[in-house]
Each structure stands twice: as structure tokens, then as C-alpha cells.
Amino acid sequence: MESEQICVSDDERETVNALAYAEGERDSAKSVNNAVSTAEEEPADVGSKNADDRAATAATEVSDEAAEKKTSILKSYFAKVKATLNKFKSPKFSAAYVAKMAVLTAISFLLYYLGRFVKLPFMFPSFFDMQISELPALLAGFSLGPVSGCLVIVFKCLLKLPLSSTLYVGELTDMLLGVMFVLPASLIYRLRRDKESSKSGIKHALIGLAVGSVLLTGAAMLVNVYISVPFYVQLFFHGDFDGIVGMLGALYKGITKETFYTYYLLLGVLPFNLLRCIIVSALTFLLYKRLSAILHWEGTSLQKKNAVPSIVGTHTVHSVEETYKLADSLASELDGGEIILLEGDLGAGKTTFTKGLAKSLGILEEVTSPTFSLLNVYESGRLKLNHIDLYRVENEEELAELGIADSIDGESVTVIEWNKLTGLKGKIYTVKISLGEDENSRIFEIGLEA
């Protein structure tokens, strides 16, 4: 009777190794107990020294294993922390980054300056400017990172300082309120995006915008009570509070010095800032995807390349290092939105090739096979990487229920093993992997469907 070959996935192999490791710890502990028991049974005048040595050696081995395990856990923890922090840092100061920041800052400044001409005097005080200058800052925060979004706010306010009519107080308070809006919105969007569906990215974008709107509105009420109103009363009304009360009397009937803040905050500051934030959030939501290619531009041509990449063809590799080198050549062709379909038998090297691709994209997390999770998402590199394994999925109906296809978007690179999705669109690379002449060699046939 012929023996049947059993194929074990990477995740199953890790589970077995973990169990073996735990069993090894128990065996080590047992060896310590056996050594101690042997030491107790041996005559004191003959074998006590040897027994003590054996017990001490076994105890040292157990201690070394525990230390190695703790070190491994710490390394894994710090790698996760580093990957998380990497989400928030801005891109390197490349020419493309500087160009995008300059354009977004210029647009933000123009919207900030022109906002002084947009008033709603029939609803709000005439000195309220309906400006939406946080829009470019939010686009920068979502695409380039929270720090970049805040920098756009700071730069546009600094540019406005020479044109200030409020001795810089208005610009400085606007800077504070802008950061209160943009920072939490972009942080929540980049940190809290679920790793299973792009729909959750939309959900967290909405949550971030809502939180930012609430924080800006609350901060605006406090700033008006303790900074803006007292300052403007001194600057424009020479300290006479009745002057600003009279100014708002036509808009808010029955307003008095005693009820000023009730009318001003609840009927003015609160609804005005909520309305402004809703407009800015809606525009951000509508424009972000449409401008994604420009916002994520890295200095290469935005036009599709007509030339066939040199990576297309047949390649033979003889080691893991050469596999990584081949994956690096493919990574250099990726700008975001590409789909890579991996084909090959179990053990052919699909996950190894994906690890090389992730390394070339600058991904810091450890790449593992998504055999059981179906989808792993890595966001610490220059492009987000979706790694999908559909081996365990029976049919397309099951795929629709799981929502796996929702993770495929124009900003990330998607690698699919055992593909069962139909109707895929965009730039699709097919990578067929087969065994070579010896156990270490592999043949890669790479095609492109554009």
C-alpha cells in the first residue's frame, strides 16, 4: 500500500512547533526533576557532586530556553510597536512629497483667505467667515499622515499672519482649531482601519471626521469664551461689552449682557462650526478617492506605462535569496492598485515570494500565510499590501459573504493565492511557480494583463 503524502500549511506547522516547544519545556523541567531525584538517590560520598552538576546543567538549559522565549516575545512586541508608529510618520522629504505639500498648502491658504468674503449674516454673526481651508489639510492627513495634515494647517495660518487684522490672534486660534479637527480625524483613519475590508476604512474615516468635528466645535466654544470675545471687545469696542451685545442685537432678539454667551454660543458658534465641519467632511469624503492617484503620487508618471515591464517572462531561481531578488524586481514596478495572482502547488514558494515582495515594499511586520485568516493586511511599507489565500474557500458565494473583494482598492497591492475571484480589473500580474531541476530551484512564469 502506497503511503499518502500529507500537506501541512504554514499556520498548522507553526501550531505544531508551538506545541513541540511547550512539550520541550515540560521535558526540560522533567529532566531537572530527574536530575535532582538522581542526586538525592546517589550516595553522598560517591556521586553527589556529579548529580549536582547534572541538575545545575539542566536548570541552566531551562533558564536559557526561558530567556530566549522572553527575548523572542519582546522582539515581536517592539516590531508591532514600530509598525504602528510607522503609520503616523510622514513620508520622506522627497521631491514628490514637497510638491504635494506645497500645492495643498497653497490651496488651503487660498480657501482660508477667500473665506473672509463668504458670510451668512442672516444666520450667524457677520464676522463669522464660512471658510473650508481644512479640506486640503484633511486630504494631506489621510494620504500623507497626520503630521502632514497638521503642517498644512500651520503653514496656511503662518502665510496669513502678514494679512492679519486681529493682531494675529485670529490666525493663532484658527491654527489651534484646525489641528483639533485634522489630527484626530487622520489619526483615527490611519490607526483604526480594520484589516479585513476597505469598507471599514470608510467607516473609520467617517468616525474620525465626526470626532474631529466635535472636538473642533467644543474647542471653538472655549476659545470664544476665554480668548476671542474678550480680545475683540478690547480691540474693537475698547473694553465695552455692551458694544458687541448691541452688534448682535439685530440677529438675536432679546440678547443682553447677561445672556450674551447663551445666545452667542448656542445659536452662533455651535451650529456655525458644526455646519462648517459637515461641509468640509462631505467634500473630503467625495474628493479623497477621486484624487487618490495624485495624493499618493511618488514622482513617477501618472500615465499608464505602455512598455512591457522587464519582469514579464520566465525566470529560474536557485535559492531564497534569488527569489527575494526577483520579488524586488516586481516590487519596483508597483505604484498601487496592482493585483498579483500566485499559482503553484503547496510548497512551491508562494508565501516565500510574498515575503520578498513585502520586504521590498518596506513592510516591517512579519509576513505569514493567511491560510486560516484568509486575509492579512500590512500597512507599514510605501504601499499597503493585502495578502489573500482562498485555498479554503469553496465558491464565489462564500467569498461574497466574507467581503474579501472589498479589500482590493486602487491604493494597495493585492497578492492572491489560489484565486477564485472573477471579474478582477486593473493591472494584474500572474505568477506561476513550478519546481525546477533540483529541490532548491523554482521556475517563475510572470505575465501581465493590463
Contacts 24+ apart (CB under 8 A), 343-348: 343/419, 343/430, 343/431, 343/432, 343/433, 344/432, 344/433, 344/434, 345/434, 345/435, 346/7, 346/9, 347/7, 348/433, 348/434, 348/435, 348/442
Is the pLDDT confidence value at 32 over 50?
Answer: no
pLDDT of residue 197: 45
Q: What is the pLDDT of residues 49-62, one digit of tens each?
A: 565 666 666 666 66
pLDDT for the residue 19: 43
Q: Which of the four pLDDT bands, split at 50, 70 and 90, describes residue 177?
A: very high
Please enumerate in sequence order all residues whose Cβ is within 8 A of that of 56, keeping only pairs 6 or more positions apart, or say none: none
The single-letter code of the amino acid at 123 is M
CB atoms within 10 A of CB 446: 19
- Mean pLDDT for 366-384 is 89
> Which has the minimum average pLDDT: 199-208, 268-277, 435-444?
199-208
Residue 443's CB is within 10 A of a number of other CB atoms, namely 16
Question: Is the confidence at residue 182, as pLDDT, over 80?
Answer: yes
**What average pLDDT does range 119-138 have in this prediction?**
92
pLDDT confidence tier of residue 394, bands split at 50, 70 and 90: confident
Place of cell 455692551: 242
pLDDT at 196 over 50: no
* pLDDT of the residue at 65: 67
* Amino acid, single-letter form, for residue 131: Q
Region of 432 (left: φ > 0; alpha: ψ -120 to 50; beta: rest) is beta
3-state secondary structure the chain: CCCCCCCCCHHHHHHHHHHHHHHHHHHHHHHHHHHHHHHHHCCCCCCHHHHHHHHHHHHHHHHHHHHHHHHHHHHHHHHHHHHHHHCCCCCCCCHHHHHHHHHHHHHHHHHHHHHHHCCCCCCCCCCCCCCCCHHHHHHHHHHHCHHHHHHHHHHHHHHHHHHCCCCCHHHHHHHHHHHHHHHHHHHHHHHCCCCCCHHHHHHHHHHHHHHHHHHHHHHHHHHHHHHHHHHHHHHHHCCCHHHHHHHHHCCCCCCCCCCHHHHHHHHHHHHHHHHHHHHHHHHHHHHHCCCHHHHCCCCCCCCCCCCCCCCCEEEEECCHHHHHHHHHHHHCCCCCCCEEEEECCCCCCHHHHHHHHHHHCCCCCCCCCCCCCCEEEECCCCCEEEEEECCCCCCHHHHHHHCHHHHCCCCEEEEEECCCCCCCCCCEEEEEEEECCCCCCEEEEEEEEC
Share of the chain above pLDDT 90, in %: 52
Model confidence at 372, in pLDDT bands (50, 70, 90)? confident
pLDDT tens, position by position, 85-107: 555 554 556 788 899 999 999 99
Residue 410's Cα: distance from chain center in Å?
15
Query: Residues in the chain, how many?
Result: 450
pLDDT grade for 25, boundaries at 50, 70 and 90: very low
| Mean pLDDT score, 329-333 | 92
Q: How confident is the model at residue 289 (pLDDT cuts 50, 70, 90)?
A: confident
The three cell numbers locating residue 36: 535532582
Q: In this predicted structure, what is the pLDDT of residue 212? A: 96
298 with 361: CB under 8 angstroms? no
- The share of the chain scoring above pLDDT 70, in percent, equals 74
Is 60 exceeded by the pLDDT of residue 353?
A: yes
User: Average pLDDT over the chain, rounded to whole?
Assistant: 82
Structure confidence at residue 397 as a pLDDT band (50, 70, 90):
confident
Is-contact 431 340, C-beta < 8 A?
yes
Sign of the torsion angle spanned by Cα atoms 139, 141, 145, 147? positive
Pairwise CA distance, residues 288 & 206, whole Å: 12
pLDDT above 80 (res 200): no
More confident residue, 202 or 445: 445
Give the pLDDT band (50/70/90) at residue 1: very low
In this prediction, residue 386 carries a pLDDT of: 94
The predicted pLDDT at position 405 comes to 81
User: Counting Cβ atoms within 10 Å, is residue 304 exposed (0-12), middle (13-18) or buried (19+)?
Assistant: exposed
- Residue 75 pLDDT more than 50? yes
- The grid coordinates of residue 403 equal 467581503
Among the listed residues 391, 385, 409, 372, the one whose alpha carbon sits nearest the alpha carbon of residue 327: 385
- C-alpha distances in angstroms, 241 versus 168, 186, 257, 265, 270? 21, 39, 7, 16, 21
Q: Are 447 and 312 in contact (CB under 8 A)?
A: yes
Q: What is the mean pLDDT of residues 118-123?
A: 87
